[in-house]
Amino acid sequence: METLEGAELCFPQLLNTSCRKPLQHRAETIFLYILLSCISLLTVALNLLVIISISHFRQLHTSTNLLLLSLAVSDFLVGLLLMPVQIFRIGGCWFLGSVICGLRHHASFILTSASVGNMVLISVDRYVAICEPLCYPTKVTHRRVKISVCLCWACSVLYNGVILNVFPKHPDTYNSCYGECVVVIDFITGAVDVMLTFIGPITVIIVLYVKVFVVAVSQARAMRSHIAAVTLQGSVSVTAKKSERKAARTLGVVVVVFLICFCPYFYPAFLGEDTSASNTLSAFLVWLLYCNSCLNPVIYAFFYPWFRKSVKLIVTLQILQPDSRHAHML
């Protein structure tokens, strides 16, 4: 009994099986609650704006925007479902039971995989649009994009169902005490997961975006040389250089942010360690991964002028006016 004296338990009535609450300063805990709640609300709000914009305005019903809509839906669900549940874990105790624990892990894996899959589809779409512009209307059709999005979500659900197939049957297998919500992935499963969820997708994204960047730069230089031979050499040179810098900056933001958010989360798997969600470091890595859902609408939507215009129409409630769906957005 001396070991329990003065210790706060998650479930005081269960002295022998209850988990202990980690020692935390009240001020730090309140700050974390406020900060993470703001991130969750911001994630929901930004992605909801993207969803409303693309769904409402008919001029935005393009193949590329359909992919952005799918990405926004997955990121919206991360902010709406996963982030609030993760906030409850700040206190170090899990009070929602084993069923919600299992659903939380499944939803986390599914939405993360779907988000990565959508990013790959977006990179493929942009590759075809820039590198094969004449074939784009025939290769990238609404029907093919819809099928690709459905397959992305279906594969994510099936794949993560296989990864976590044991968890629904024995949800408390890896819990050392009552009040934990822990899932552990062994080395082999973790290695396969890293290959399919991280290394494979990031390789595809980097390769395609590098090709897009090279083609965009070469086209800008060819146009500059062609027009400069006729006239306006100075102004075209400045415009071409700005275009090159913008292409490089966009590529850098996409790749670097993705790496910053995902690399730390998969780092334990690279070292051959088990992936656990029970300690402070793992909780931080999960939140870093989730923050990518908050940054995605900034990266993929705020670069588009139509998004800023649609936000103004939504905030000012002009979308409630008749025929607002036919507004000129591009």
Q: Is residue 99 part of a domain?
A: yes
Burial class (CB within 10 angstroms; exposed 0-12, middle 13-18, buried 19+) of 108: buried
Domain that holds residue 114: 25-326
Q: Is residue 265 part of a domain?
A: yes
The answer to whether residues 15 and 59 touch, using CB atoms and an 8 Å cutoff, is no
Q: Tokens for 301, please give them.
A: 């939507």
The answer to whether residues 121 and 68 touch, using CB atoms and an 8 Å cutoff, is no
pLDDT at 270 over 60: no
Q: Is residue 169 part of a domain?
A: yes
The answer to whether residues 111 and 188 touch, using CB atoms and an 8 Å cutoff, is no
pLDDT at 88 over 90: no
Reported as half-sphere exposure (CB side, CA atoms, 13 A), residue 154 has a value of 6
Task: Indicate the number of domains in the chain.
Answer: 1
pLDDT 10s digits, 205-216: 888 888 888 887
Burial class (CB within 10 angstroms; exposed 0-12, middle 13-18, buried 19+) of 323: exposed
Q: Is residue 7 part of a domain?
A: no
Higher per-residue confidence, 301 vs 253: 253
Highest mean pLDDT among 13-17, 83-87, 299-303: 83-87
Cα-flanking dihedrals φ and ψ of residue 152, to 5°? -60, -50
Per-residue pLDDT, averaged over 253-267, amounts to: 77
Cα–Cα distance measured from residue 13 to residue 179, given in angstroms and rounded to the nearest whole number: 12
Q: Is residue 183 part of a domain?
A: yes
Q: Is residue 8 part of a domain?
A: no
Q: Is residue 128 part of a domain?
A: yes
CATH number at residue 141: 1.20.1070.10
| pTM score above 0.85 | no
Q: Is residue 16 part of a domain?
A: no
Q: Tokens for 119, please give them.
A: 């990013």
